[in-house]
Amino acid sequence: MKTKSELIIEALKTGRDLSLSEIAAHISESTGQAVKLTDISSVLSKLSKPEKADTGFFIQRRKKPKRPYRYKLVDEALEMTTGELIDLSHKTGKDRFTLEQAGEKYPGIKKYVKRNVVKKPEAPKAKTAMPERSESAQHETPVANEPVAFEQQLIEKIKAVLAQGLTINVNVNLRS
């Protein structure tokens, strides 16, 4: 059983300029099953963006006024096998075909690869250990009558937490 990514890449390997509905029709015809446009759209969105998958460098997405998007695999990428294109759609995997290997094997595709593509930043990994509180900090209570001293203590505590590389979320409730 082929994945939706594989089926979409096979449709694009025809070399034709296809709309989303034409890709879905091609997939339905090859599998004998009805497919949802939303499913194809979400996978195609991932495949056609270089920041999400390396295949995005080679899938052209065009929009004409009052017409649906059209998708086409660049001519130079048509030389690649379906398996190689599938590997380029994955970010990890043992012995997968990489973008560097593709550039060596098919030099014509290098002109489509833009190295300045901004990858989506990964979310910072959560720290599991809480900072240890000093014995004196456990018993300190800010004095409301001394707002300057309280602010200074708060600032120092925030700096200590930030120095450890932790994130701080602060909720402030004002009461009169």
- pLDDT tens, residue by residue, 152-172: 887 888 888 777 877 777 776
Average pLDDT of every residue of the chain: 81
Question: Is there a single domain that holds both residue 22 and residue 72?
Answer: yes
Q: Determine the Cα–Cα distance for residues 170 and 66; give it in Å rounded to an integer.
A: 47
Question: Is there a single domain that holds both residue 32 and residue 103?
Answer: yes
Task: For residue 150, tell me if it sits in a domain.
Answer: yes
Question: Is there a single domain that holds both residue 81 and residue 18?
Answer: yes
**Token code pair at residue 153:** 């203590």
Q: Which domain holds residue 24?
A: 4-112
Question: Is there a single domain that holds both residue 21 and residue 85?
Answer: yes
> Residue 162 carries which side chain, given as an amino acid letter?
L
Per-residue pLDDT band for 118 (boundaries 50, 70, 90) equals very low
Decide: helix, strand or coil at residue 119: coil
- pLDDT tens, residue by residue, 71-112: 999 999 999 999 999 999 887 888 889 888 999 999 998 888
CATH number for position 36: 1.10.10.10
Per-residue pLDDT band for 11 (boundaries 50, 70, 90) equals very high
- pLDDT tens, residue by residue, 22-63: 999 999 999 999 999 999 999 999 999 998 999 999 999 988
Question: Is there a single domain that holds both residue 31 and residue 82?
Answer: yes
Question: Is there a single domain that holds both residue 90 and residue 142?
Answer: no
Question: Is there a single domain that holds both residue 20 and residue 105?
Answer: yes
Task: For residue 117, tell me if it sits in a domain.
Answer: no
State pTM to two decimals. 0.62
